[in-house]
Amino acid sequence: MLDIRPTHSIASTESKKGLATKSTILQVALEIASKSGLAGITIGHLADSVSMSKSGVFARFGSREELQIEVIRKYYEYFSAIVFAPALTKAKGLSRLRHMIDAWLKISVGENTSSCFFIAGAAEFDDRPGIVGDELIRSVEDWRSALLRAIKESIAAGHLKKTVVPQEMLFNLYSIV
């Protein structure tokens, strides 16, 4: 007898497994990038780290560039969850700005990272035109815009002196980190 049951449950299980595998690869790649930079991610090293073949890792992303872009996006999601989202629960002004800076420093300095992923990545790719650098620039600009907005809100709320120049303070914060 011919089996005519739908096969979507099998495909669904396979796609869940595929997504879980891809997520594991991205997590390991992010850990590598946090310590060695985006250039430190190689398909071979990553394959060894997740006990897969090079072709298995490559098949999930299509290219090293696509892998690097997905790592940047994964970090941006993480950054948003740790820095952006909690900051929005704080009152506008110095409370929000302080939370942003404290959270930024906490994830940028420590045993699991060598520096701010965005700053290190931007420096690493500043002379390399292409989609990886473009994705980094977009992420960095989002972060810089949010910091600048928080600085301006702090001035408007009277928490910082009116003489503070927002762009200069932003530059100084970046220089420190």
Q: The whole model's pTM is what? A: 0.78
Dist. CA 136–CA 61, nearest whole Å: 18
Does the domain formed by 16-176 have CATH 1.10.8.640? no
In which band, very low, low, confident or very high, does the pLDDT at 5 lie, cut at 50, 70 and 90?
very low
The residues pairing with 113 across neighbouring beta strands, listed in sequence order, are 110
Share of the chain above pLDDT 70, in %: 89
As given in the structure block, the two tokens for residue 84 are 């952006």
For the chain, give every domain's residue range. Answer: 16-176
State residue 114's pLDDT score: 57
pLDDT for 112 equals: 59
pLDDT digits (tens, 9 = 90+) for 33-45: 887 788 888 888 8
Distance CA 122, CA 4 (A): 54
SS3 of 109, please?
Answer: coil
| Residue 113: per-residue pLDDT | 61
Show Cβ contacts of residue 124 under 8 Å, excluding neighbours closer than 6 positions. Answer: 37, 38, 39
Give the pLDDT confidence score for residue 22 in this predicted structure. 87
pLDDT digits (tens, 9 = 90+) for 44-88: 888 898 999 988 888 888 888 899 999 999 989 989 999 999 999
Name the DSSP letter for residue 139.
H
Mean pLDDT over the full length of the chain = 84
